[in-house]
Structure 1
Amino acid sequence: MKDMEKKTYEGAMARLDEIINLLENNKVSLDDSIALYQEGVELASYCDAKLKSIENQVTKIYEDQQLKDYEGE
């Protein structure tokens, strides 16, 4: 998806939900289905990377059962 750097996790998940509904309800042509599937894969990858980034931030904040100030990456 273009402009992926501007996308939020919540926006990406909402778009994924739209894509799933379109594909499940057979409301698009085969060619459009392929394009939507590709967009969905890109969005899923973006969401996975975003979650891993958040997980790393939380791990840095909460190490050895102690809360620490987050200093960024």
Structure 2
Amino acid sequence: MAKDPLNPPASYEAALEELEQLVQVIESGQLPLEQLLTGYQRGAELLAFCRGRLDAVEQQIKLLDEGSLKPWAPQ
């Protein structure tokens, strides 16, 4: 199921992929309660990791745009 919770993901993409797989396993309803709790905890860790990475990128973009975050419009 989940990887070792003490090891952080290698990247945002790896964390997102693991989180997606974990959600599928949890939603299947086939896990015993203890594994469900462990999976939920790992999911929370992965979500926090992803949010942290996204916040860091947002801060870098603000610096590049001279302190103001400009709205993104698809072309």
The normalised TM-score by structure 2 is: 0.77
Give the ranges of 4+ consecutive aligned residues of structure 1 lying more than 2 Å apart after TM superposition. none
The normalised TM-score by structure 1 is: 0.79
Say if 1:58 and 1:31 are closer, same or farther in 2 by CA, change over 3 A: same
1:13 & 1:60 partners in 2: Cα distance? 25
Q: How many residues align?
A: 64
The equivalences for 1:1-73 within 5 A come to: 1-4=5-8, 7-63=10-66
Q: Please state whether the residue corresponding to 1:27 is helix, strand or coil.
A: coil
Q: Percent identity?
A: 25
2:39 & 2:12 partners in 1: Cα distance? 18
Q: Which of the two has greater helix per residue?
A: 1
Structure number with larger C-alpha Rg: 1
Q: Please state whether the residue corresponding to 1:14 is helix, strand or coil.
A: helix
Structure 1 unpaired stretches of 5+: 66-73
2:7 & 2:58 partners in 1: Cα distance? 23
Structure 2 unpaired stretches of 5+: 69-75
